[in-house]
């Protein structure tokens, strides 16, 4: 008989495989968020988008040496967006990535409504963690010019000494907050389905826990905004 741990591992693998199978549709949806005037960004960020969509399913299952396979030789190479990407543009990319993947997770849960709450937690935790890693990496780099689709391939940006900590903190906290809301929304939708009493109790506990976490992140966000206004 399968244990809860066996089911957790199997369901994480199931979600990971689902997201791998949806890779190209996700890429297409992601690139469709650009306007015609932003065509240069589509080609410029292709490797980074595909790198994130390779890495995220691996993170869900905690596959051994996932980072080494996806990001040699620099363990953060696919986190670095090309020259011409302002921090604001990178954050827009990550927001689009989050929104599209969030929708895919919701669609997966509709197909597999008996997914464990721990699997939902793992997916959103890894989604937020990956977004925060990319933000930290890109805030270290300068952005001297906009990408031109007719120009030579974009070069990696050069490190600059000043780190905009407040920008990073605001972005990280906002993604942590959205991750909590994503978990709450997922658990609430699953509670509408016929469930065992133990599963229902787990989802209710998950909502309660993440409401508390979301409240903490909201206080953080307000504090960072006040800091920005006073600086």
Domain that holds residue 66: 4-230
- One digit per residue, the tens of pLDDT, for the chain of length 231 reads 778 788 999 999 999 999 999 999 999 999 898 888 887 888 888 888 888 899 999 999 985 444 444 443 344 455 567 777 776 777 778 888 888 998 899 899 889 888 888 898 888 888 888 877 777 676 655 444 445 555 444 444 444 333 455 666 666 777 777 778 888 888 887 887 787 888 888 888 888 888 888 877 776 667 666 665 555
Number of domains composing the chain:
1
Which residues share a beta bridge with 159? 141
Burial degree of 140 (CB within 10 A; 0-12, 13-18, 19+):
middle
Q: Give kind and range of the element (H or E) at residue 121.
A: helix 117-138
pTM of the model: 0.66
Q: For residues 93 and 47, give the distance between their C-alpha atoms in angstroms, rounded to a whole number.
A: 13
């Amino acid at each position: 008989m399968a244990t809860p741990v066996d089911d957790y591992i199997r369901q994480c693998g199931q979600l990971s495989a689902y997201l791998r199978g949806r890779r190209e549709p996700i890429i297409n949806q992601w690139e469709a968020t650009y306007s015609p005037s932003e065509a240069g960004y589509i080609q410029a960020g292709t490797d980074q988008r595909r790198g994130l969509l390779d890495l995220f399913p691996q993170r869900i299952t905690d596959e051994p040496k996932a980072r080494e396979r996806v990001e040699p030789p620099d363990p953060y190479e696919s986190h670095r967006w090309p020259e011409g990407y302002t921090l604001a543009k990178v954050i827009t990319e990550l927001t689009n990535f989050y929104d599209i993947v969030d929708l895919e997770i919701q669609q997966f849960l509709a197909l597999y409504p008996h997914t464990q709450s721990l699997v939902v937690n793992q997916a959103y935790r890894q989604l937020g963690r990956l977004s925060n890693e990319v933000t930290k990496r890109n805030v270290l780099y300068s952005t001297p010019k906009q990408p031109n689709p007719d120009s030579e391939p974009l070069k990696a940006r050069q490190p600059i000494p000043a780190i905009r900590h407040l920008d990073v903190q605001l972005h990280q906290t906002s993604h942590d907050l959205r991750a909590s809301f994503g978990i709450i929304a997922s658990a609430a939708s699953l509670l509408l389905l016929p469930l065992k009493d133990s599963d229902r109790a787990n989802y209710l506990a998950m909502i309660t826990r993440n409401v508390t976490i979301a409240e903490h992140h909201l206080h953080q966000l307000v504090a960072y905004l006040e800091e920005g206004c006073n600086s």
